[in-house]
C-alpha cells in the first residue's frame, strides 16, 4: 500500500508538470473567448486524467528499476509503457542481473582470498600508507599479538629498521627487505619483506608485509659459534697437556722410570677427560636431533632410580656419602625412555655426590602431584611425578641458577675440571627432560645445599585383571 501511494504521488507530480502547457493553452482559449471557462476546465481535467493513466505504468516500471527489481512482463498495465521505455527497462533489468552476478562472484572471490590469506603459514600484514593495519592473518597474530586491525604499525612493532623500510616504501620504493629483532626477555629475530600493492596515497594505497621467523636459525647459529669456541677451548687444554707429556716421556724422562710413570698417569687422566667430553658431545648431539620426538614406551620410576643409585654407589662410598631413596608409590610410571631417564638421574646424583659435602647424604625422593601443576612455565597434561635430588653442599648463588643448564657453564671452573666435569651434564639433562615433555627446576641457596627437581607426566596405570570366580 505504501509503495502504491508513493507511485501515485510521483505520477501526479509528473502529470502536473506535463499538464502545465495544456493549462496555459486553456487559459489563452478562455481569454480570447474561444472556449467557455467550464469547458476549458473539463478539457484540462480530461488531459490530466489521460496523462496520469499513461504515466502510472511508466512510474511503476522506473520505480522497480530504481529498486533493482525485475520488471514483470505479465502485468497488463505494463503493456501501456511505450516500447522505448520497455527496451530501456529490459536493458536495465539485464544489467541489474549481470551486476548482481558480478557482485556474487566478487564476494565469493573475496571470501576465498581471505580464507587463503588466513590459512597461510607465513605471517602477513596489510596496511594503508598511513601505516594503519587493515588485515593480519592468524600466523601474524601468533607472533605480534591479537587485535592488530586498526592499530598503527609503530604501535605494534617497535623496530626502527622496519619503520625506516616502511617509510621508504611509502615514499615510492617498490619493496624493501629488512631483518630486525623484537622482544627483550626472550628476543626473536624476524625477516620482513615489504611490498607496495598500488598507489601509496594515504587513503588508497595498500602495503603488504610478509614476516619470516628466523629465531631458531639465529639461535642455532649463535649456539654453534659458542659451541665451537667452547668445545675447542675444552679440548685444547688436555691436548696441550698430552703433547707436552708425550714430548717429556720421549725426551728428558726417557731414562727415568719414576718420571715416565708420573707422566703416563697424567696422559691417561687427560685422555679420559677428552673421552668423557667427546661422549657427552655425542650424547648431547643425539638428544638434540630427536628432541622433537616424544618417547612412546612406559617405565617405572623405581627401576630407573634404583639402577641410577646402584651405578653410583661406589662413587658415594669413596666420599662417604649416603644415597637415600624415597619412593612412596612403587608402581609409579612415566612415559619415557629408560636409558635416557637413567642418564638424567645419574647426572643429577653424580653432581650431588661430587659437589656435596663429604660424609653427607644425597636424598632422591619422588612424589605424585595432581593434574594442572605448573613449574617454570611447564604445565602437566594430567597427573605427574616430581623427582627431587637434594644434596648437602655449599649451595649455588642466585645469579648462577638461570645459566646452569647452558653448555660448558660452570660455577667453579677449576673445581669442576678437577672433579672430572665436562660442563655438559645439566645441558644433557635439560634436553632429555624437554624430549619427555617435562620440566627441570633448580632451588639452591649458599650454605644450604641444592635441590634439582624433574617433573614428568605420569603414565596411566594398567587396569587390574578381574578376579576369576
Can you give the pLDDT at residue 94? 79
Q: How confident is the model at residue 272 (pLDDT cuts 50, 70, 90)?
A: confident
Does the pLDDT of residue 100 top 80, yes or no? yes
Does the pLDDT of residue 389 top 90, yes or no? yes
Most confident of 37-41, 326-330, 417-421, 460-464: 37-41
Give the tens place of pLDDT for each residue, 409-447: 777 665 656 655 677 888 889 989 988 888 899 898 888
Q: Of 184 and 304, which is predicted with more confidence?
A: 304
Does the pLDDT of residue 156 top 80, yes or no? yes
CA distance 334 to 381: 12
Does the pLDDT of residue 233 top 90, yes or no? no
User: Which of 40-54, 196-210, 270-284, 312-326 has the weakest average pLDDT?
Assistant: 196-210
Q: Of 232 and 95, which is predicted with more confidence?
A: 95
Interval 368-387 mean pLDDT: 76
Q: How confident is the model at residue 89 (pLDDT cuts 50, 70, 90)?
A: low
Q: What are phi and psi of 188, to 5 degrees?
A: -130, 145
Can you give the pLDDT at residue 203? 47
* DSSP labels, 83-101: HHHHHHHHHHHHHHHHHHH
- R_g (Cα) of the chain, nearest Å: 44
Cell numbers 617498490 correspond to 174
Q: Of 390 and 89, which is predicted with more confidence?
A: 390
Q: Which of 427, 387, 425 is nearest to 291 (CA)?
A: 427
Does the pLDDT of residue 376 top 80, yes or no? no
User: Which of 140-144, 181-185, 347-351 has the weakest average pLDDT?
Assistant: 181-185
User: Which of 157-166, 194-203, 237-246 has the weakest average pLDDT?
Assistant: 194-203
Interval 234-262 mean pLDDT: 83
Helices (H), 80-214: 83-119, 138-144, 153-156, 160-170
Give the tens place of pLDDT for each residue, 357-367: 888 899 999 88
Give CA separation, 385 vs 279, 328, 344, 433, 457, in Å: 29, 11, 15, 13, 6
Reduced to 3 states, what is the DSSP secondary structure of residue 357?
coil
Q: Which strands make up the sheet holding 175-182, listed edge to edge?
A: 133-136, 124-128, 206-213, 188-196, 175-182
Sign of the C-alpha dihedral computed for residues 343, 349, 353 and 356 taken in this order: positive
CA distance 298 to 461: 10
- Superfamily for domain range 120-213: PAS domain (3.30.450.20)
Q: How confident is the model at residue 83 (pLDDT cuts 50, 70, 90)?
A: low
Cell numbers 724422562 correspond to 253
Q: Of 417 and 118, which is predicted with more confidence?
A: 118
Can you give the pLDDT at residue 467? 43
Strand partners, 211: 192
Give the tens place of pLDDT for each residue, 157-167: 888 888 898 88
Q: Which of 284, 124, 290, 138 is nearest to 208 (CA)?
A: 124
User: Tell me, which fold does domain 216-289 have in CATH?
Assistant: Helix Hairpins (1.10.287)
Most confident of 52-66, 218-232, 339-353: 339-353
Can you give the pLDDT at residue 64? 64
CA distance 341 to 333: 12
Can you give the pLDDT at residue 85? 57
CA distance 214 to 181: 10
Reduced to 3 states, what is the DSSP secondary structure of residue 385?
strand
Q: What are phi and psi of 367, to 5 degrees?
A: -145, 150
Share of the chain above pLDDT 70, in %: 83
Strand partners, 63: none
Strand partners, 190: 180, 213
CA distance 312 to 317: 9
Interval 337-354 mean pLDDT: 90
* Burial of 329 from C-beta contacts in 10 A (0-12 / 13-18 / 19+): middle
User: Which of 159-173, 315-329, 452-466 has the weakest average pLDDT?
Assistant: 452-466
Q: Of 365 and 371, which is predicted with more confidence?
A: 365
* DSSP labels, 196-244: E-S---TTT-EEEEEEEE-HHHHHHHHHHHHHHHHHHHHHHHHHHHHHH
Give the tens place of pLDDT for each residue, 278-297: 888 788 778 877 777 788 78
Does the pLDDT of residue 268 top 90, yes or no? no
Angle at 245 between CA 242 and CA 248, to 5 degrees: 150
CATH number of 295-462: 3.30.565.10
Does the pLDDT of residue 265 top 60, yes or no? yes
Contacts of 309 (CB under 8 A, 6+ apart): 323, 325, 349, 364
* DSSP labels, 321-356: -EEEEE-S-TT-EEES-HHHHHHHHHHHHHHHHHHS
Residue 312 CA, distance from chain mean position: 43
CB 368 within 8 A of CB 385: yes
* DSSP labels, 436-456: TT-EEEEEE-TTS-EEEEEEE
How is residue 141 written as a grid cell?
A: 597474530
Most confident of 67-71, 132-136, 183-187: 132-136
User: Which of 37-46, 132-141, 440-449 has the weakest average pLDDT?
Assistant: 37-46
How does the average pLDDT of the chain come out, rounded? Answer: 79
Can you give the pLDDT at residue 247? 85
Reduced to 3 states, what is the DSSP secondary structure of residue 69?
coil
Domain ranges of the chain: 2-98, 120-213, 216-289, 295-462
Amino acid at each position: 500500500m505504501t509503495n502504491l501511494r508513493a507511485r501515485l504521488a510521483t505520477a501526479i507530480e509528473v502529470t502536473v508538470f506535463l499538464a502545465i502547457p495544456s493549462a496555459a493553452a486553456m487559459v489563452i482559449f478562455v481569454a480570447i473567448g474561444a472556449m467557455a471557462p467550464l469547458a476549458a476546465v473539463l478539457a484540462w481535467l480530461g488531459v490530466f486524467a489521460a496523462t496520469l493513466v499513461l504515466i502510472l505504468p511508466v512510474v511503476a516500471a522506473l520505480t522497480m528499476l530504481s529498486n533493482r527489481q525485475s520488471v514483470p512482463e505479465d502485468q497488463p498495465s505494463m503493456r501501456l509503457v511505450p516500447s522505448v521505455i520497455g527496451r530501456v527497462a529490459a536493458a536495465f533489468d539485464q544489467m541489474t542481473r549481470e551486476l548482481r552476478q558480478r557482485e556474487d562472484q566478487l564476494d565469493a572471490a573475496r571470501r576465498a582470498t581471505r580464507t587463503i590469506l588466513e590459512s597461510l603459514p607465513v605471517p602477513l600484514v596489510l596496511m594503508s600508507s598511513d601505516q594503519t593495519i587493515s588485515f593480519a592473518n592468524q600466523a601474524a597474530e601468533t607472533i605480534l599479538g591479537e587485535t592488530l586491525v586498526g592499530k598503527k604499525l609503530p604501535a605494534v612493532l617497535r623496530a626502527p629498521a622496519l619503520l625506516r623500510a616502511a617509510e621508504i616504501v611509502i615514499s615510492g620504493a617498490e619493496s624493501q627487505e629488512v631483518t630486525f629483532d623484537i622482544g627483550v626477555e626472550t628476543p626473536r629475530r624476524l625477516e620482513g619483506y615489504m611490498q607496495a600493492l598500488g598507489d601509496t596515497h594515504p587513503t588508497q594505497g595498500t602495503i603488504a608485509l610478509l614476516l619470516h621467523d628466523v629465531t631458531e636459525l639465529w639461535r642455532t647459529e649463535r649456539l654453534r659459534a659458542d659451541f665451537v669456541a667452547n668445545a675447542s677451548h675444552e679440548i685444547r687444554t688436555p691436548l696441550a697437556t698430552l703433547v707436552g707429556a708425550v714430548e717429556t716421556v720421549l725426551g728428558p724422562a726417557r731414562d727415568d722410570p719414576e718420571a715416565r710413570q708420573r707422566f703416563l698417569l697424567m696422559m691417561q687422566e687427560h685422555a679420559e677427560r677428552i673421552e668423557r667430553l667427546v661422549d657427552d658431545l655425542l650424547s648431547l648431539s643425539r638428544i638434540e636431533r630427536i628432541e622433537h620426538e616424544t618417547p612412546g614406551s612406559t617405565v617405572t620410576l623405581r627401576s630407573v632410580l634404583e639402577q641410577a643409585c646402584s651405578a653410583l654407589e661406589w662413587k658415594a662410598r669413596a666420599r662417604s656419602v649416603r644415597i637415600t631413596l624415597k619412593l612412596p608409590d612403587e608402581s609409579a610410571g612415566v612415559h619415557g625412555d629408560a636409558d635416557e631417564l637413567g642418564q638424567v638421574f645419574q647426572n643429577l646424583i653424580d653432581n650431588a655426590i661430587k659437589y656435596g659435602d663429604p660424609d653427607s647424604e644425597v636424598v632422591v625422593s619422588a612424589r605424585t602431584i595432581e593434574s594442572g601443576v605448573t613449574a617454570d612455565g611447564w604445565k602437566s597434561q594430567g597427573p605427574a611425578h616430581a623427582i627431587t635430588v637434594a644434596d648437602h653442599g655449599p649451595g649455588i648463588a642466585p645469579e648462577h641458577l638461570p645459566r646452569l643448564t647452558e653448555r660448558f657453564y660452570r660455577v667453579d671452573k677449576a673445581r669442576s675440571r678437577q672433579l672430572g666435569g665436562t660442563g655438559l651434564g645439566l645441558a644433557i639433562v635439560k634436553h632429555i627432560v624437554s624430549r619427555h615433555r617435562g620440566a627441570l627446576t633448580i632451588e639452591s641457596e649458599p650454605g644450604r645445599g641444592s635441590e634439582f627437581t624433574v617433573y614428568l607426566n605420569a603414565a596411566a596405570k594398567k587396569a587390574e585383571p578381574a578376579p576369576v570366580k
